[in-house]
Every structure is written in C-alpha cells, then in structure tokens.
C-alpha cells in the first residue's frame, strides 16, 4: 500500500486482542500480545500470528497510515 519495502511509520499503541509478530529491518523481532503496550520504530514488517484478529489502539501514526503526499 505504501510502496516501500517496510513500513516507515512509528507506531505507539496498546494491544487489546490477538498476537502480532514484528520484524525490524535490523533483524530484531518482537511479539506483541493482548495487554502489551508497544512502540514500533520505522523500518519494520509485521504479521498476525494465529487465527485471532490483532486489535490495537494506536496513539501515534494511525491517522497517516498508507496515505499519499
């Protein structure tokens, strides 16, 4: 959607449900699960783990996600 190899937004939020696995361009990984607050820096990719939908409340970046100039 954004036309980049990885997401270049900074995400700050709280996970309400589900599990999200995040991989940074540096190779570091993190798993976010229900009850976790998170900060994901620019330069990442992520995918949902399991059958439950990931539900996160984003406090930063959600308004600008995948929008053009």
Residue 69: inside a domain, yes or no? no
The DSSP bridge pattern shows strands 11-17 and 19-24 to be unpaired
Residue 3: inside a domain, yes or no? no
- pLDDT score of 63: 61
Number of domains in the chain: 1
Arithmetic mean of pLDDT, 42-55: 96
- pLDDT score of 44: 95
- pLDDT score of 69: 55
Tell me how many degrees the CA angle 36-68-10 measures, rounded to the nearest 5. 25
Residue 47: inside a domain, yes or no? yes
For the stretch 3-39, pLDDT in tens is 778 998 899 999 999 999 999 999 999 999 999 999 9
Confidence of residue 68 (pLDDT cuts 50, 70, 90): low
**Burial code of 14-27, b = ≥16 C-beta within 10 A, e = fewer?**
ebeebbbbbebeee
The boundaries of the domain holding residue 32 are: 11-63
What is the CB-side half-sphere exposure of residue 26 using CA atoms within 13 A? 6
Residue 6: inside a domain, yes or no? no
Q: What is the pTM of this model?
A: 0.82
């Amino acid at each position: 959607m954004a036309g980049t190899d990885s997401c270049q937004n900074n995400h700050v939020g709280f996970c309400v449900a589900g599990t999200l696995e995040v991989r940074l361009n540096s190779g570091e990984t993190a798993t976010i699960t229900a009850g976790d607050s998170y900060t994901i820096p620019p330069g990442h990719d992520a995918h949902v783990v399991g059958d439950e939908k990931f539900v996160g409340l984003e406090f930063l970046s959600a308004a600008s996600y995948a929008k053009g100039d």
